[in-house]
Each structure stands twice: as C-alpha cells, then as structure tokens.
Amino acid sequence: MKADILAFGVHPDDVELSCAGTLIASIAQGKTAVVIDLTAGELGTRGTAATRKKEAADAAKVMGIHKRENLGMADGFFKHDEKNTLKIIQVIRRYQPEIILCNAPEDRHPDHGRSAKLVSDAVFLAGLRKIVTHEQKKIQKAWRTPYTFHYIQDRYIKPDFLFDISAYHDQKLKAILCYKTQFNTKDHAEPATYISSPEFFESLKARALIMGKQIGVSYAEGFISQKLPGINSFDAFIKKAT
C-alpha cells in the first residue's frame, strides 16, 4: 500500500500530541496516512506496553489512519545503528510516501531528538539503490521521499509553516484522550507525571490556539522543514471562495 503521508513517532502518542490534526485533515482531503511507532513506550511511568498498544489502536480509529505499525525498538535505549536504520528504510520503501512527519529535532525527552535524527538519516539512505532491503523475499526498490517535516513537541521551536487544523481540533483531542493511562487522568493508582495533569492537557489546546492565531485561524499545528518548500503559483496562498 502506497501512503501519501508516513508519520513516525518514537512513542505511541507522539503523533497524536503533535500532528494528529494534520493527519486527520489530510485524510479528509483524500490522502492516505500511515503511522509508525518506533517503541511501545514501555518505560512510561504510567500504564504498560499492553495498555499503550490498546490505546494506540483506539487512537488510530479516531484519527482514521489507514494503518499503524510498531517497530519494537527499545524505549529509552534504542540506538542509531545499522539495524534500526534498516528497519526504517524498509518501512519507507514499503509505503513510498510523498511526505514524512517525524519527531522534533530537540526536545525535553531525549528519545525525541534521537528519533528525529534516526528517521532523517533513514529517509536519505532509503533513496540509495545500493542499500539492499527485502519485503516478502523480494528486493525493495529505492525510494526518495520529497519532503520530511519535523513536528513540534514539548519545547517550543519556531515553525517553518503552520497547518490549519481548526475543523479537526476536537477530533485530535479525542484521539489524545484515548491514552487514558497518560493524559488528563484522575486515576491516582500510579504516580502523577508531567503529562498526566489537566494543566498539561490545557497547554496542548493553548499551543494550538496560539499557532492558529498566527495565521488567522482557530487552531494550527507547526512543522519544521529540512529544505525550503518551493511553489510555482501564488494559488497556494489565495483562499478560494466557496
């Protein structure tokens, strides 16, 4: 299955927190979207790998994504090595995306920046035909994805562009709340964490509101581009009358 958008997150819920609105909006526009989680988030203070798996599946249904996979890397300890790079190359060649979304290049959680570098390097290497990977015993074709965008996570990074998610913001929040062990929870059976409080959940809405204000819409998500996007028409900036 070819995907228009391939979204990577090092932990289940990274994608929901940072670019779910963009994915939901893109799917509504007819795009095919696939999510790849690198780890099961097994080191999280709250919940377990099993509960995170169930929550990720529930969130996938809310977002309407076409497929979700987990690459089974070690949460907190995955390495930027040949084995893990080849896993990502294989996935990129499988889905042949036009756009890749991935973790922030620098953030509060060290896994995020490491994942961003790992995925970025794999994106480049996936285009080299002399790197051989297999799918169902067949050699995969090399694939060069035109654009890789990093979403913005806990720490604010000035975005290169903003995506209007106003019509899909509520659906994004619903997807985030599928992670019942992690966010906006009143369950005190496990320790409180940085992300489990109602204040953290409110901060997500505030971030989207502030980004939306910058482009004159209700809510938006921000992205960092590895290269300068080019245009051949100002139609991209002209709002069509409906």
Interval 182-230: pLDDT, tens: 999 887 888 999 999 999 999 999 999 999 999 999 999 999 998 888 8
Question: Could you tell me the residue ranges of all domains in the chain?
Answer: 5-228
Q: Over pLDDT 70: what percentage of the chain? A: 99
Cα angle 102, 104, 107 (rounded to 5 degrees) comes to 145
Q: Over pLDDT 90: what percentage of the chain? A: 90
Find the mean pLDDT for residues 134-139: 94
HSE-CB for 55 with a 13 A CA cutoff:
26
| CB-CB neighbours of 138 under 10 Å | 7
Instruction: Report which of 152, 179, 194 is spatially closest to residue 41, judged by C-alpha positions.
Output: 179
pLDDT at 216: 95
pTM, 2 dp: 0.95
20, 78 contact by CB (below 8 A): no
State yes or no: pLDDT of 241 exceeds 80: no
In the block, tokens 């076409």 appear at 66
Residue 4: pLDDT band (50, 70, 90) is very high
pLDDT at 151: 98
State yes or no: pLDDT of 34 exceeds 70: yes
Determine whether 197 is exposed, middle or buried from the number of CB atoms within 10 Å of its CB (0-12, 13-18, 19+): middle
Instruction: Report which of 83, 73, 80 is spatially closest to residue 116, judged by C-alpha positions.
Output: 80
State yes or no: pLDDT of 27 exceeds 70: yes
State yes or no: pLDDT of 240 exceeds 80: no
Q: Helices 49-63 and 169-176: crossing angle, nearest 10°?
A: 160
Check if CATH label 3.40.50.10320 holds for domain 5-228: yes
pLDDT at 242: 47
In the block, tokens 């900036």 appear at 237
